[in-house]
Amino acid sequence: MASYLDAAAIVSTGSALVLYKDRLGLGTGEIGTLSSMLTLSIAAGALLGGRLGDRYGRRRVFMATVTLLALGAVLLAAATSSGFLYVGIVVVGFAAGADLPVSISLIGEEAPEGARGTLVALSQVLWYGGIVTTQLTGLLVGGMGSTGARVLYGHVAVVATLVLVLRFKLPESRQWIDQRRKADTGSGGPVEQSATRRLLKKPHLKALTGLALFYALTNLAANTKGQFGTYLYVEVAGGTVRIASAIGLATLFVSIPLAMLFMKIVDGRNRMRWYALGAICFVLSTAAPAALGVHVGTLALSSLTGAVGSALAFEGIFKVWSQEVFPTLLRATAQGMVIAFARVVAAAVALWTPTLLSAGPRVMFAALAAIVAVATGIGTVLDRLPKIQTGAPDRSATSAAGPATSAADPVATTRVDGS
């Protein structure tokens, strides 16, 4: 549900700021500033929340973050001036960002043997669910002005409150408790060195760098298409906002079944074959408009092939790899660093995208195709990195002697079966 709330908060803000424009006297520049603040707040939250989750526990952090998210959404729903928006957006963005790496780490650590990838991938299905629910709500309240904006943020506040109630029943990660106890008593080795310094040294630097590049570059393509998609349909392809919205919504209903397919195959032996299919489709989604020109047909093709690529070779597989390659007491920190890096890169590049578009949209798509090709190539290396999480499923080989062993967690060595 952290992924659901993250998506709902972002999509709601995109619509709500426009709906608040007349009532709260927001200018175009102010709307842009608030949107940038949301992205940067998510980055800051992921960076700090991940580290706090490794140091003080998953449960403490995700209880605090979802509480903050609910309060921030209430503030935005009740806004009577732009000042409320500035405070609320910073709070909501920070809370959503901090919640993601910690919650995903808990899923990976508490998942039954052989089902970790499936349960981590479920978060991606709910991420799409957050988008669909918010967009459908937007269709219903889009003509209601500021009241529609309050409904959108009210939806985020209600869901966050329900999630808070349900999270009271969740225990702390047993794996984190075990590793934290060993670290605090000194029996697990020198783990109190700065988490950032540990991640920037062997053996973690390769995984951190690879994941940061993979996620930032793939996210760059997805974010650019999402942020400037309507502009391309209307201003370049000669379509309408209605056509852009209809194709976007139809694509989401393709993405959800594909995300459910990813749940079924991610723990299996053939996941990299599916990844290869996703990588090809991801590159095609940016190469087709570059090669064939930018019109409604190629943009629709880009959306369809991009849905396949995103489901099989983007955020879902990034989340799974993140659980597999980092030890327990560094896992949330590493994810937070990668998420923060990707969001900052996306925010920075968005400032220059209009300039790139002025040089020609086909040039932009050609650049994105090259970026995605590099990123998905990095992914083939990431899947071969040693799996160091307890109970990590091994897809490399299974012989009569049983499953191959994975690399040991530096904090505590365990068998692959989790015992």
At 287-317, the pLDDT tens digits run 999 999 999 999 999 999 999 999 999 999 9
Q: How far apart are CA 60 and CA 54, in angstroms?
A: 11
**Using alpha carbons only, what angle is made at residue 413 by residues 407 and 414, rounded to the nearest 5 degrees?**
90
Q: Please tell me the total number of residues recorded for the chain in this structure.
A: 419
Neighbours of 234 (CB within 10 A): 15
pLDDT at position 402 over 60 = no
SS3 177: helix
Q: How far apart are CA 128 and CA 361, in angstroms?
A: 27
Pick the closest to residue 195 from 312, 23, 332 (CA basis).
332
Q: How far apart are CA 41 and CA 31, in angstroms?
A: 15
Structure tokens that stand for 25 in this block = 């006297």
Q: How far apart are CA 224 and CA 162, in angstroms?
A: 32
Give the pLDDT confidence score for residue 193 in this predicted structure: 58
What contacts 24+ positions apart, CB below 8 Å, involve 409-415? 409/179, 409/327, 409/328, 410/189, 410/191, 410/327, 411/179, 411/182, 411/183, 411/188, 411/189, 411/191, 411/327, 411/328, 411/329, 412/178, 412/179, 412/182, 412/188, 412/328, 414/390
Could you tell me the pLDDT band of residue 146, with boundaries at 50, 70 and 90?
very high
Structure tokens that stand for 264 in this block = 């079924």
Q: How far apart are CA 213 and CA 377, in angstroms?
A: 11
Q: How far is CA 396 from the centre of its chain?
A: 27
**Using alpha carbons only, what angle is made at residue 136 by residues 133 and 140, rounded to the nearest 5 degrees?**
135
For 188-225, letters b (16+ CB in 10 Å) and e give beebeeebeebbeeeebeebbebbbbbbbbbbbbbbbb
Angle between helix axes 28-56 and 58-77 (nearest 10 degrees) is 160
Structure tokens that stand for 101 in this block = 């790496």
SS3 113: coil
Average pLDDT over residues 107-124: 89
Give the pLDDT confidence score for residue 187 in this predicted structure: 56
Q: Which residue has the higher pLDDT, 404 or 226?
A: 226
At 206-250, the pLDDT tens digits run 999 999 999 999 999 998 888 788 788 888 888 887 788 889 888
Average pLDDT over residues 396-403: 35
pLDDT at position 418 over 60 = no
pLDDT at position 378 over 90 = yes
CATH number given to 194-395+402-412? 1.20.1250.20
SS3 168: coil
Structure tokens that stand for 6 in this block = 């993250």
Pick the closest to residue 168 from 271, 313, 59 (CA basis).
59
Q: What percent of the chain has pLDDT over 70?
A: 90
Give the pLDDT confidence score for residue 414 in this predicted structure: 35
Which amino acid is residue 76, in one-letter code? L
Q: Which class for 36: exposed (0-12), middle (13-18), buried (19 or more C-beta within 10 A)? A: middle
Q: Which residue has the higher pLDDT, 416 or 204?
A: 204
**Fold topology of 1-184:** Growth Hormone; Chain: A; (1.20.1250)
Residue whose tokens read 């988490």: 195
At 56-102, the pLDDT tens digits run 999 999 999 999 999 999 999 999 999 999 999 999 999 999 999 99
Give the contacts of 297 (CB within 8 A, at least 6 positions apart).
none
Which amino acid is residue 379, in one-letter code? G
**Using alpha carbons only, what angle is made at residue 95 by residues 328 and 9, rounded to the nearest 5 degrees?**
120
pLDDT at position 384 over 70 = yes
| Preceding omega of 354 cis (within 30 degrees of 0) | no
Ordered alpha helix ranges (H), 267-360: 271-292, 296-313, 315-325, 328-358
Could you tell me the pLDDT band of residue 401, with boundaries at 50, 70 and 90?
very low
Q: What percent of the chain has pLDDT over 90?
A: 63
pTM: 0.85
pLDDT at position 52 over 80 = yes
Structure tokens that stand for 408 in this block = 């040991």
DSSP 236: I
Q: How far apart are CA 286 and CA 367, in angstroms?
A: 9
Average pLDDT over residues 347-359: 79
Return left, alpha or beta for 223; rule: phi > 0 is left, psi -120 to 50 is alpha, else beta. Answer: alpha
At 187-200, the pLDDT tens digits run 554 444 578 888 99
Domain boundaries, the chain: 1-184, 194-395+402-412
**Residue 402 backbone phi and psi in degrees, to 5:** 110, 180
Average pLDDT over residues 16-36: 87
DSSP 192: -
pLDDT averaged over every residue in the chain = 87
